[in-house]
């Protein structure tokens, strides 16, 4: 269960642009978000969202700290909206909502650099958990930079992955890692929070003169999760993975 007080601490000064064509879902979600964020602007299609997004000079600061958008919408769809937003601000945090049958959009969205891909019907605990992570990154940008340059990544209260020595420690006790597990953790720790798709992972193993396929990636992750703290590896529709550092919260 998300801690509402902690969430509000990071979100109360932030603004959200929420794009969803289903009226009831749009209104209900906007009402929930308004309990945590400074301003929530909701619109029913991508074109209205883009018009609002262009209203302010980004040399000053963006109107919206976070954009949440559906994919299938009238006038201008979500994928086109995201591409246009990134032309204006390539660093805009964007969360995508999608129905199950829209998973074909996952790969291009990951390549564009979205923060998260959340399935409908919306799990609001998952959405709020994601918003907490994104809000922390917005308000504490130096944390992300330091994470990427750290040699030792804290993955739990007692668990640490040492990138330099390719070792996993729990309570200072060495946890055995296979060669394939080390390659996987080294890759995910290169850019903390980045989603690495199966194609990225396969390519990395090839450069190491090793081979792996999608099925074996899933098996590898399943075994590795047994050695790591809960939620250290986040999967996105089973097609991409990212490492989630421990923040003490």
pLDDT digits (tens, 9 = 90+) for 12-60: 999 999 999 999 999 999 999 999 999 999 999 999 999 999 885 544 5
Q: Is 201 exposed, middle or buried (0-12, 13-18, 19+ CB in 10 A)?
A: buried
Q: Which of 139, 170, 187 corresponds to the end of one domain?
A: 139
Q: How far is CA 211 from the centre of its chain?
A: 27
The structure tokens listed for 170 are 């729990």
Cis amide bond preceding 121, omega within 30: yes
pLDDT above 90 coverage of the chain, percent: 47
pLDDT at 204: 93
Domain membership flag for residue 112: yes
| More confident of the two residues 110 and 82 | 82
| 117 and 21 co-located in one domain | yes
List the beta strands (DSSP E) in 23-135.
Answer: 39-43, 66-69, 94-98, 116-119
Q: CATH number, domain at 238?
A: 1.10.10.10
| 111 and 43 co-located in one domain | yes
| 26 and 128 co-located in one domain | yes
Q: What is the chain's length?
A: 249
What does the angle CA 105 – CA 111 – CA 115 come to, to the nearest 5 degrees?
A: 85
First to last CA, the chain: 12
| 109 and 161 co-located in one domain | no
| 31 and 93 co-located in one domain | yes
| 184 and 132 co-located in one domain | no
pLDDT at 237: 66
Domain membership flag for residue 249: no
Give the number of domains in the chain.
Answer: 2
pLDDT over 60 at 216, yes or no: yes
| 39 and 69 co-located in one domain | yes
Confidence class of residue 143 from pLDDT cuts 50, 70 and 90?
low
**DSSP code, position 12:** T
pLDDT at 196: 87
Range of the domain at 72: 4-139
| 125 and 208 co-located in one domain | no
pLDDT over 70 at 101, yes or no: no
- What is the C-alpha separation between 72 and 45, in angstroms, rounded? 9
The pLDDT of 106-135, averaged and rounded, is 83
| 126 and 160 co-located in one domain | no
Helix H segments across 40-102? 46-53, 78-88
């Amino acid at each position: 269960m998300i801690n509402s007080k902690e969430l509000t601490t990071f979100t109360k000064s932030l603004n959200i642009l929420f794009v969803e064509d289903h009226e009831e879902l749009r209104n209900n979600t906007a009402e929930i978000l308004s309990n945590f964020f400074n301003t929530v602007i909701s619109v029913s299609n991508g074109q209205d969202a883009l018009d609002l997004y262009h209203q302010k000079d980004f040399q000053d600061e963006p109107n919206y700290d976070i954009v949440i958008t559906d994919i299938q919408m009238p006038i201008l769809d979500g994928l086109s909206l995201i591409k246009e937003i990134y032309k204006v601000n390539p660093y805009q945090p964007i969360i995508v909502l999608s129905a199950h049958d829209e998973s074909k959009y996952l790969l291009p969205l990951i390549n564009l650099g979205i923060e998260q891909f959340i399935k409908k019907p919306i799990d609001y605990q998952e959405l709020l958990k994601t918003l907490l992570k994104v809000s922390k990154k917005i308000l504490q940008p130096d944390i992300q930079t330091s994470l990427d340059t750290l040699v030792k990544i804290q993955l739990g209260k007692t668990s640490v992955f040492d990138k330099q020595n390719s070792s996993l420690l729990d309570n200072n006790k060495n946890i055995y890692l296979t060669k394939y597990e080390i390659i996987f953790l080294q890759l995910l720790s290169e850019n903390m929070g980045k989603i690495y798709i199966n194609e990225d992972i396969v390519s990395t193993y090839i450069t190491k003169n090793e081979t792996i396929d999608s099925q074996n990636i899933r098996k590898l992750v399943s075994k590795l999760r047994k050695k790591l703290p809960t939620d250290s590896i986040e999967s996105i529709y089973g097609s991409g993975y990212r490492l989630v550092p421990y923040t003490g919260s």
